[in-house]
Structure 1
């Protein structure tokens, strides 16, 4: 069963036949290959013949010989149909050495529409960025949103139960086919985790101390939503008997971000309108993966788990997301896009008056007229506090 990822699918259709390279990125197993498969099916409904579609998955051993750029170029050139639009769709292209030059060579030819995917942001840096500047658009995929998860599991009638399942199992698409009551989901997530760590981090960065890398991952997973600096991570881990210097922490964190397993939210001074360079927050790409890493203690931090879910949803909706600093208080999220700014406070519950006032305070201090929200798991009617809207987080997550 293929679940239509409408948000991403519509983007591909919108860019179809446009003279721009479509680069689909995202963590391993988030659905990139399935999206491309569905796109190929769509092309065939638009009278595109099989011969006009050249699809290569570079993780398939059948195509290992094409990891050589010259071999890949020759293979593609032989199959191009003169005078007709040819669709080059290449999955996990980072396995090909100097793939940028091959892509650029076909980009400059007529009647060729190019789609490539990769599982790490490293492929977008360095030479690719230089060689193809202004020639590509990035479509960054994430695992299932809560809305997609609910639709896939037909759980529209019980959003609270759906949310519990969402954070207890996983948002990776294939896990909906697995038995969550057995170890299938956990074993599948472990496979994803191993692939990310071994293929995207350890082998590329040539990391010798894999156990130390995993200690950093678990530290970040255990501290989602907490202000951190690489020095703080280094000092805390060293005091716990795992000696690691700041430079190594920086290298590890950078690699984890490039592999899309960890996301970083920088801080933003709301009054000064400037970005700050200290005490970032980190979020994990999937709460189920966090459960697999941390075990039974993973689901005890309800507020930060919700915060993680909301952060990823804001990213899905196309916002640049920052942590807001306002004097001595903090706004959980400052979300910016071409329409302006939105401010969010996230809390598991604000039924307690003291908690409600604490969440309202930073938003009340902001003097502009951009929308301000408090998202909570409280199943209460929507509230309004001098223009600050309190909304049930699950209802907010379901809105499109």
Structure 2
């Protein structure tokens, strides 16, 4: 089992704090494993079985609670020794009807610390937010970072080969246990599970061709400006009947299920968010190859952007597409301290014309915040007019 140390440290720091801890992210990205690691940590701290309850609401044996929150609440409370600090873990809690009322009831009970996981942004919907305002903290969970991926291999001498695998197959943890000829089928099954449980059932949709056409179009256009009307027009030109309203519903559902992240544009000079030309990045590049095929997974520049974007999210940054006059910087990033950083991502800038093109957006930015050019070029870290050029693999493996 990969020790997902960063998430474990977050949970340790929040232990016994008066907040509901919500681990949210796409299905099979490792939320349950993180919860399990934390439960094992509690055992080392002397927490007994009478002080913990764990329920997975995708287990068949727990189906009786999905529509009976009263029985669920008393089932949990009656197992605990409430004279001591107790810990309740509810896995895939969005499957329980009115789950937020159970969570709230447990939260207000003395000596109960509540931890939940969910695979749909419904967990953070306005209804839940209204009931639990100020009572919960959301902890986003992502597939394995490259650093975590590397930790699973004994032989780390060829980081370039491991990165090629990661770039193609992604970082869903379950893939590490499978032979290479089974990974594509595994990811297709995960997608089917997400589509059925987190999208079609939730929205009362039938599985229809246009939904998958939109999904595949997005995977094929990672890192490109997209809009509902643009996607609708392209699909119409190919003979499909679909309105931009329908496309908009599909985009919302795909982001709600954490399959994609929508990234707004930020005007660096005007210091305001823009409402057009947003970009979308996939939660895991493995889905691109599994659903489009190997021949469609060769857009190395945008794939590299996708990996950098996810890593910036893991490092708890707020990420935007940066507009700098008439140019665009790949990522304008606000740090936890409120400072701005700027990133350009390119596969290689060894050709002078490419280097100059990647530098141009940086030169349009008039402030003095940190600027980094990330590439696959293998050469010593260098600086040009205060702009650091760094190898992506080195950057991904840094603390």
What TM-score, normalized to structure 2? 0.98
1:356 matched to which residue of 2? 355
Q: Per the alignment, do residues 366 and 155 of structure 1 end up closer, same or farther by CA in structure 2, a change over 3 Å counting? A: farther
Q: How far apart, in 1, do the equivalents of 2:265 and 2:118 lie?
A: 28
2:311 alignment counterpart: 313
Match of 1:226 in 2: 224
In structure 1, what is the equivalent of residue 85 of structure 2? 85
Matched residue SS, 1:338: coil
Could you tell me whether the CA contact under 8 Å between 1:202 and 1:210 is conserved in 2?
Answer: no
CA deviation map 1:149-188 (0-9, x unaligned):
11112353222111101122231001111111x2x11111
Aligned to 2:143: 143
Determine if contact 1:26/1:119 at 8 Å carries over to the other structure.
yes
C-alpha deviation, 1:108, in angstroms: 1.1
Q: CA deviation at 1:205?
A: 0.8
**Structure 1 CA distance for aligned equivalents of residues 336 and 140 of structure 2:** 18
Counterpart Cα distance in 1 of 2:155 and 2:318:
30
- Is 1:133 aligned to residue 133 of structure 2? yes
CA contact (8 A) 2:88 2:112 kept: yes
Query: How many residues get paired?
Result: 397
Name 1:47's counterpart in structure 2.
Answer: 46
1:298 & 1:342 partners in 2: Cα distance?
32
**Whole-Å separation in 1 of the counterparts to 2:365 and 2:97:** 50
What is the aligned counterpart of 1:326 among 312, 324, 327?
A: 324
Deviation of 1:93 after TM superposition, in Å, equals 0.4
Asked if structure 2 preserves the Cα contact closer than 8 Å seen for 1:146 and 1:166, the reply is yes
Deviation at 1:338, TM superposition (A): 2.3
Q: 2:280: which partner in 1?
A: 282
Aligned positions of 1:1-400 closer than 5 A: 2-67=1-66, 68-180=68-180, 182=181, 184-339=182-337, 340-400=339-399
Distance in 2, Cα, partners of 1:120 & 1:23: 11
8 Å CA contact 2:266–2:321 kept in 1: the answer is yes
Shift of 1:82: 2.6
> 1:360 and 1:154 mapped to 2: Cα distance?
38
What are structure 2's unaligned runs of at least 5 residues?
Answer: none
- Once the two structures are overlaid, the 10-residue window that deviates more, 156-165 or 109-118, is 156-165
- For 1:326 and 1:245, the matched residues in 2 are separated by 33
- Partner Cα distance (1:295, 1:215) in 2: 14
Change over 3 Å in CA distance of 1:155–1:212 after alignment to 2: farther
Question: C-alpha offsets along residues 99-126 of structure 1, whole Å, 9 cap, x if unaligned?
Answer: 1111111111211100000001112102
79-88 or 245-254: bigger deviation: 79-88
d(CA) in 1 for partners of 2:20 and 2:207? 37
1:389 and 1:155, CA in 2 relative to 1: closer, same or farther beyond 3 A?
farther
What secondary structure does 2:247 align onto? helix
Deviations 1:3-59 (A, max 9, x none): 011111110011001111000000000001111111111100000001101000000
Measured in 2, the distance between the counterparts of 1:11 and 1:157 equals 30
CA RMSD of aligned residues (A): 1.0
Check whether the contact 1:229–1:280 (CA below 8 A) recurs between aligned residues. yes
**Native 8 Å contact 1:267 1:323 kept in 2:** yes
Deviates more, 1:55-64 or 1:100-109: 100-109
Q: Is the 8 A contact 1:153 1:176 kept in 2?
A: no
Secondary structure class of the residue paired with 1:321: strand
Cα offset for 1:327? 1.6
Deviation at 1:319, TM superposition (A): 0.6
Question: Per-residue deviation at 1:209?
Answer: 4.8
Contact 2:170 2:285 in 1 (8 A): yes
Q: In structure 1, the residue corresponding to 2:105 is in which secondary structure?
A: helix
On the 8 A contact 1:32/1:141 being kept in 2, the answer is yes
- Structure 1: tracts of 5 or more residues without a match: none
Structure 2 contact 51–82 (Cα < 8 Å) conserved: no
